[in-house]
């Protein structure tokens, strides 16, 4: 694994942990759980992030998370009460940590340093409550923690320390916050050539009685680490602690770091030295020796840790509940299973020709297994949608706070599973809809009371499976969409012709048009240039549909319907000319024989049990060459509220189609969503029904354009 991959893994892990941290904090804040129930998980998240960030040398993250962790530790030890104010602060810290993690992946998203400093200062208030006015020299009253010891600290200040804006005084002051500083010995060596008043000639030595670990102490000297020589030696008492630290299976270095006798930086330096030695083909020294040589730890500490490590070697945990797998490996597996399905179909064709009953039976058994394997493999990519909903909870909380609205969020069906890649692509559109609902949907409290509604607004997220698809609904009990206003706005923005009459549903759809925005006052939250058109496009990219239902003053419901997976669909195979086409089965209502002669020539709709059914001649719209067959069929498809007929030639039956996206070169193609390799080895095209209908409408409207346009065009040609 190279560094980059390892880093990605770290980012991934950190994001997951931050999600856990966030949802726990939110639950506690909302009163759905007690802090006692979640503090361990929250603490562990912060602790793990700090540890891994240290391994990668993300010092800013380590430093910040360290403070967060320290506060959490106090909460865990019941030394600090978990107040709403603290919850708020920790949520802000969480947001800052998310930013810091994101800025690793994308340095353009630099995290706000000022924000970090502010948060650290706020955390510090919890860590070091202002003490009573103790005289500084009188430290005899200072409490001495139980498992304390004397750390001895030597600092040989570099010449440039003053000029770098550092003052040893501030470090001494800070050390006093960690514990009791004793036996300060400061010496100044002016013998070295000409005295320069701006150079620092000081050397400092002291004893520190503190329960802080080495990392904490070393952080005090973070900014002079490069210019000065700082040696921190662990107290003897820690030797005992290393021996006592019995549970976790940690290697020597980690053991020492965990017990607080060694910092991550020192460990890294020693490990780097080891690597260098190996590269130069020198005999690498044992880590322990190296650490002793560096002066980082005492010899007795190392031997204590080593003996502990030996004891632990046989006790690795076996009950791993989760296994992290590279997403590419999984995609690869699913790809192979797609091939297997295709190859299975090819064999089925051949076996069908043999009329060998036993062979057919045994093959049917195998087909069943292949289907199960396919479903299980696709299941590996499935995650619960709750993960996405968790993020929405945060948005609801933040946005409603910002707008001063009281909103209750109800989440249903959080356990509904969906393809992981879809969950990721869904989070932006969902976020946008939810923001819109809070911002524009749910009225301010006074307006609600005036309307006779409860002052608390309701927002509901619901996810469920329905006939091979996942449905996500976002419902609010707000003002609802006003068709007249939308209409007026659309006309104003030039999206709609003044004289065009539309149904209520069609008017709602106008909000998905590019350049449409109903926000009468653009607030900080919505109207940031991303419109509902982007939402619709995102959903369509997932082969999904979005629809709106709304009643004035009752509320609005957005309904998103998505396929279960992006990899394989159940399709119905038809042909037109030489082309094999696949229609998604879940859209098909029925198939009819097409009686071409009974139809008027210039009319593309038919009478389906008294209802008008417009139809698309697939051969014409896709310009498929060849002779039209005598017998044609109509496949009646339904998508959302729309129904249409597709005129095709032969109906071949159902199949499982492994979707192969078409090359980017063909991005302009309309009505075809992808390709698939069929059992025969032929390539078929998967119809994108909504797009095909739209394309037909688009063409028709151009053909029906006023005659003047046409003659003008002809003149040019």
Interface segment toward another protein; rule CB under 8 A; list 11-19, 267-275, 633-641, 670-678: 670-678
Least spacing, CB of residue 580 vs another protein, in Å: 8
What are the backbone angles phi and psi of residue 677, rounded to the nearest 5°? -95, 125
Interface segment toward another protein; rule CB under 8 A; list 62-70, 187-195, 245-253, 523-531: 187-195
Least spacing, CB of residue 283 vs another protein, in Å: 37
**Which listed residue (280, 361, 578, 597) binds another protein by CB under 8 A?**
578
Selection from 197, 205, 253 nearest residue 233 by Cα: 205
C-alpha to C-alpha distance for 344 and 656, rounded to whole angstroms: 11
Q: Applying CB under 8 A, does 322 fall inside the site for another protein?
A: no
- Per CB under 8 A, contacts with another protein among 548-567 are none
| Pair 542, 566: CB distance under 8 Å | yes
Q: Applying CB under 8 A, does 8 fall inside the site for another protein?
A: no
Q: What is the 3-state secondary structure (H, E, C) of 289-316?
A: HHHHHHCCCCHHHHHHHHHHHHHHCCCC
**Which listed residue (158, 288, 338, 555) binds another protein by CB under 8 A?**
338
* Dihedral, 82, 222, 288, 13 alpha carbons, nearest 10: 50
Least spacing, CB of residue 341 vs another protein, in Å: 11
Burial class (CB in 10 A: 0-12, 13-18, 19+), 523: middle
**Which listed residue (39, 472, 622, 657) binds another protein by CB under 8 A?**
622
C-alpha to C-alpha distance for 157 and 225, rounded to whole angstroms: 9
Least spacing, CB of residue 682 vs another protein, in Å: 6
Cβ atoms within 10 Å of 71's Cβ, excluding its own: 23
- 343 versus 460: smaller Cβ distance to another protein: 343
Q: Applying CB under 8 A, does 97 fall inside the site for another protein?
A: no
Q: Applying CB under 8 A, does 350 fall inside the site for another protein?
A: no
- 64 versus 685: smaller Cβ distance to another protein: 685
**Which listed residue (128, 185, 299, 451) binds another protein by CB under 8 A?**
185
Cβ atoms within 10 Å of 383's Cβ, excluding its own: 16
Q: Applying CB under 8 A, does 334 fall inside the site for another protein?
A: no
Q: Applying CB under 8 A, does 186 fall inside the site for another protein?
A: yes
User: Is residue 335 helix, strand or coil?
Assistant: helix
Q: Applying CB under 8 A, does 664 fall inside the site for another protein?
A: yes
Least spacing, CB of residue 530 vs another protein, in Å: 24
Q: Applying CB under 8 A, does 682 fall inside the site for another protein?
A: yes
Query: For residue 650, what is the enclosing H or E element?
Result: strand 650-658
Q: Applying CB under 8 A, does 497 fall inside the site for another protein?
A: no
**Which listed residue (18, 93, 100, 200) binds another protein by CB under 8 A?**
200
Least spacing, CB of residue 589 vs another protein, in Å: 24
User: Is residue 132 helix, strand or coil?
Assistant: coil
| Pair 642, 554: CB distance under 8 Å | no
- CA gyration radius, the chain: 34
Classify the phi-psi angles of 120: left when phi > 0, otherwise alpha if psi is within -120 to 50, otherwise beta: alpha
Q: What is the largest CA-CA distance in the chain?
A: 113
**DSSP letter string, 184-220:** EEEEE---SSS--TTS--EEEEEEEEES--HHHHHHH
What are the backbone angles phi and psi of residue 102, rounded to the nearest 5°? -65, -35
- 600 versus 668: smaller Cβ distance to another protein: 668
Selection from 47, 88, 82 nearest residue 65 by Cα: 47
Least spacing, CB of residue 174 vs another protein, in Å: 11
Q: Applying CB under 8 A, does 660 fall inside the site for another protein?
A: yes
Q: Applying CB under 8 A, does 675 fall inside the site for another protein?
A: yes
Q: Applying CB under 8 A, does 162 fall inside the site for another protein?
A: yes
Number of residues that bind another protein (CB under 8 A): 51
Q: Applying CB under 8 A, does 686 fall inside the site for another protein?
A: no
Query: For residue 489, what is the enclosing H or E element?
Result: helix 483-492
- 200 versus 256: smaller Cβ distance to another protein: 200
Interface segment toward another protein; rule CB under 8 A; list 169-177, 373-381, 388-396, 481-489: 169-177
Q: Applying CB under 8 A, does 331 fall inside the site for another protein?
A: no
Query: For residue 287, what is the enclosing H or E element?
Result: helix 287-294
Burial class (CB in 10 A: 0-12, 13-18, 19+), 436: buried
**Which listed residue (129, 190, 323, 404) binds another protein by CB under 8 A?**
190
- 2 versus 578: smaller Cβ distance to another protein: 578
Q: What is the 3-state secondary structure (H, E, C) of 396-423?
A: HHHHHHHHCCCEEEEEECCCCEEEHHHH
Q: Applying CB under 8 A, does 183 fall inside the site for another protein?
A: yes
CA–centroid distance for 621 within its chain: 40
- 423 versus 678: smaller Cβ distance to another protein: 678
Q: Applying CB under 8 A, does 623 fall inside the site for another protein?
A: yes
Q: Applying CB under 8 A, does 184 fall inside the site for another protein?
A: yes
Selection from 473, 441, 471 nearest residue 458 by Cα: 441
- Per CB under 8 A, contacts with another protein among 99-158 are 136-137
Footprint of another protein on this chain (CB under 8 A)? 136-137, 162-163, 165, 167-169, 172-173, 182-186, 188, 190, 195, 197-198, 200-202, 204, 338-339, 342, 578-580, 622-624, 660, 662-672, 675, 677, 681-683, 685
């Amino acid at each position: 694994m190279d560094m980059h991959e390892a880093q990605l893994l770290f980012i991934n892990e950190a994001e997951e942990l931050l999600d856990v941290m966030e949802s726990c904090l939110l639950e506690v804040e909302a009163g759905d759980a007690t802090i006692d129930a979640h503090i361990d998980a929250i603490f562990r998240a912060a602790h793990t992030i700090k540890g891994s960030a240290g391994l990668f040398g993300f010092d800013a993250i380590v430093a910040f998370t360290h403070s967060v962790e320290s506060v959490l530790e106090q909460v865990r030890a019941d030394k600090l009460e978990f107040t709403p104010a603290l919850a708020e602060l920790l949520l802000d810290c969480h947001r800052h940590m998310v930013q810091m993690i994101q800025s690793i992946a994308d340095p353009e998203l630099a995290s706000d340093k000022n924000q970090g400093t502010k948060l650290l200062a706020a955390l510090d208030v919890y860590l070091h409550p202002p003490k009573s006015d103790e005289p500084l020299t009188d430290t005899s009253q200072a409490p001495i923690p139980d498992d304390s010891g004397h750390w001895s600290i030597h600092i040989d200040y570099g010449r440039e320390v003053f000029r770098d804006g550092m003052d040893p005084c501030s470090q001494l002051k800070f050390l006093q916050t960690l514990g009791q500083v004793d036996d300060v010995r400061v010496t100044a060596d002016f013998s070295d050539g000409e005295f320069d008043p701006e150079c620092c000639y000081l050397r400092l030595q002291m004893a520190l009685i503190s329960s802080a670990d080495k990392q904490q102490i070393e952080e005090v000297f973070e900014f002079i680490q490069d210019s000065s020589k700082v040696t921190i030696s662990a107290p003897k008492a820690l030797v005992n602690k290393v021996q006592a630290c019995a549970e976790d299976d940690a290697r020597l270095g980690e053991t020492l770091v965990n017990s607080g006798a060694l910092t991550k930086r020192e460990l890294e330096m020693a490990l780097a030295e080891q690597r260098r030695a190996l590269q130069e083909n020198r005999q690498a020294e044992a880590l322990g020796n190296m650490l002793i040589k560096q002066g980082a730890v005492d010899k007795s500490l190392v031997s204590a840790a080593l003996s502990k490590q030996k004891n632990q070697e046989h006790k690795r945990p076996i009950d791993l509940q989760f296994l992290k797998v590279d997403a590419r490996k999984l995609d690869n597996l699913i790809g192979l299973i797609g091939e297997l399905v295709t190859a299975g179909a090819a064999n089925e064709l051949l076996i069908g020709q043999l009329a060998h009953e036993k062979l057919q039976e045994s093959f049917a058994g195998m087909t069943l297994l292949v289907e199960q394997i396919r479903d299980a493999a696709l299941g590996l990519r499935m995650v619960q949608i709750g993960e996405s909903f968790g993020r929405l909870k945060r948005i609801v909380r933040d946005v409603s706070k910002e707008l001063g609205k009281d909103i209750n969020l109800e989440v249903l069906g959080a356990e509904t599973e969906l393809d992981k890649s879809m969950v990721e692509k869904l989070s932006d559109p969902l976020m946008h809809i939810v923001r819109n609902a809070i911002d524009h949907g749910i009225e301010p409290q006074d307006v609600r009371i005036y309307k006779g509604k409860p002052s608390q607004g309701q927002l509901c997220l619901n996810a469920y499976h329905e006939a091979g698809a996942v449905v996500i609904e976002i419902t609010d009990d707000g003002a609802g969409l006003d068709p007249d206003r939308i209409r007026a706005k659309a006309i104003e923005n030039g999206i709609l012709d003044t004289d065009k009459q539309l149904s209520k549903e069609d008017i709602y759809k106008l909000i998905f048009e590019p350049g449409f925005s109903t926000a009468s006052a653009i607030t900080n939250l919505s109207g940031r240039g991303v419109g509902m058109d982007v939402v619709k496009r995102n959903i369509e990219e997932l082969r999904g549909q979005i629809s709106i239902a709304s009643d004035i003053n009752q509320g609005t419901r957005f309904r998103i319907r998505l396929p279960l997976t992006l990899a394989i669909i159940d399709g119905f195979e038809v042909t037109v000319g030489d082309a094999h086409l696949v229609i998604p089965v879940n859209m098909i209502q029925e198939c009819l024989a097409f009686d071409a002669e009974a139809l008027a020539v210039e009319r593309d709709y038919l009478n389906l049990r008294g209802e008008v059914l417009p139809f698309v001649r697939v051969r014409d719209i896709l310009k498929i060459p060849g002779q039209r067959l005598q017998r044609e069929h109509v496949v009646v498809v339904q998508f959302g509220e729309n129904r249409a007929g597709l005129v095709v030639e032969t109906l071949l039956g159902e199949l499982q189609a492994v979707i192969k996206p078409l090359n980017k070169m063909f991005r302009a193609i309309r009505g075809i969503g992808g390709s698939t390799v069929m059992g025969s080895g032929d390539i078929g095209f998967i119809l994108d029904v909504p797009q095909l209908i739209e394309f037909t409408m688009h063409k028709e409207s151009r053909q029906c354009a006023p005659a003047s346009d046409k003659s003008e065009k002809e003149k040019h040609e």
